[in-house]
């Protein structure tokens, strides 16, 4: 069974299965999609979304137009960016992260919104339930915080003597309480002292790592957010500079030099978002499309970074790893 199938919950699979090519290629119709994000521009995830749309018969410049709005990490820009897409009367708005989905929902109650990777949209009040989201929002939910205890366990397996672990979050992250609650519970059970650091600017990151060093941190776990994602390469570099084995929630950090990640395949989640767009453009209502959650989680290890840190990856982790980047 391939990763895409494994990503589905059974509830969502049947709702999205439908023929598509003939509809997408309907003569003369140009569909307009708005893409709203707090990141600074396209990446592999956005590329995967566009590729899947092409596979479904939507061709940019022919029957498809995508309007991108990038927040570049500035949350205060979201209301106006969302309002711009509403004024353009796009057919669907695609969002990444819960914060952005909420901003889009505040901007419109009529234009369908598809979440490509929203963490805990139910807890954030973006949807009414996973099975029956209600309103104009549906899509794919990222289990970002619910498995942070497992991430800490994997980090401890890599660094068994670590008793002081740093946590790094975006200062304005709306999911910080959920992340910290799970991490703190797991840390108490494992006898680990947490060294919590927050940052909201790129310049502040070096200071945060300086505090980790002074507090004798032995490893690091980073919460995914628009801010940390935008600064993933810098965070990975600082982690190596300060000799901190690092754990992340998504693979894109490891691709930039982070040591290890454990989480769902976000590339596949963005591909699934294209199916939601396809279904909605055919007339389905977001309220009737169940929100999917990933059922498969991947362990990715950067072997080159491990060598730079002088770490030997335990055989147990190598066996469990879905991919080791060399």
Please provide the DSSP assignment of 100-164 as one string. Answer: HHHHHHHH-SSS-EEEEEEESTTTTTSSS-SS---TTEEEEEE--STTHHHHHHHHHHHSTT--E
User: What's the mean per-residue pLDDT of the chain?
Assistant: 90
Structure tokens that stand for 137 in this block: 């929002």
- pLDDT of the residue at 7: 46
Over residues 99-128, the pLDDT tens digits come to 999 999 999 999 999 999 998 898 888 999
pLDDT tens, residue by residue, 195-214: 999 999 999 999 999 999 99
Q: What is the pLDDT of residue 146?
A: 67
> Is residue 303's pLDDT more than 70?
yes
| Distance, CA of 246 to CA of 165 (rounded, Å) | 10
pLDDT tens, position by position, 89-102: 999 999 988 999 99
Decide if pLDDT at 17 tops 70: no
Report all structural domains of the chain as residue ranges with CATH numbers, in order of start: 3-142+264-288 (3.40.50.2300), 148-263+298-325 (3.40.50.2300)
- Claim: this prediction has a pTM higher than 0.95: no
- The C-alpha angle with vertex 287 and arms to 294 and 178, in degrees rounded to 5, equals 45
């Amino acid at each position: 069974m391939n990763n895409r199938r494994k990503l589905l919950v059974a509830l969502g699979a049947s709702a999205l299965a439908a023929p598509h090519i003939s509809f997408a290629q309907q003569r003369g119709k140009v569909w307009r999609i708005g893409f709203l994000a707090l990141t600074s521009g396209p990446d592999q995830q956005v590329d995967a979304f566009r590729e899947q749309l092409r596979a479904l018969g939507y061709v940019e410049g022919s029957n498809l137009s995508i309007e991108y709005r990038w927040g570049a990490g500035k949350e205060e820009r979201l209301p106006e960016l969302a309002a711009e897409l509403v004024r353009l009367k796009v057919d669907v708005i695609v969002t990444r992260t819960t914060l952005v989905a909420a901003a889009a929902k505040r901007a419109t109650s009529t234009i369908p919104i598809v979440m490509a990777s929203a963490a805990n949209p139910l807890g954030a009040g973006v949807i009414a339930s996973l099975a029956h989201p209600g309103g104009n929002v549906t899509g794919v939910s990222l289990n970002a915080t619910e498995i942070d205890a497992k991430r800490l366990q994997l980090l401890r397996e890599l660094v068994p003597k670590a008793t002081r672990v740093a946590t790094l979050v975006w200062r304005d992250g709306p999911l910080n309480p959920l992340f910290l609650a799970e991490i703190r519970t797991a840390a108490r059970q494992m006898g680990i002292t947490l060294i919590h650091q927050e940052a909201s600017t790129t310049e502040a990151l070096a200071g945060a790592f300086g505090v980790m060093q002074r507090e004798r941190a032995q490893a690091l776990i980073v919460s995914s957010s628009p801010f940390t994602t935008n600064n993933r390469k810098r965070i990975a570099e600082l982690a190596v500079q300060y000799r901190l084995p690092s754990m992340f929630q998504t693979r894109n950090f490891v691709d930039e030099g982070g040591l290890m990640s454990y989480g769902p395949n976000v590339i596949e989640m963005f591909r699934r978002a294209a199916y939601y767009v396809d279904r909605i453009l055919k007339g389905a209502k977001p309220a009737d499309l169940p929100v999917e959650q990933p059922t498969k989680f991947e362990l990715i290890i950067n072997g080159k970074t491990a060598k730079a840190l002088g770490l030997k990856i335990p055989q147990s982790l190598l066996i469990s790893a879905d991919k080791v980047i060399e």
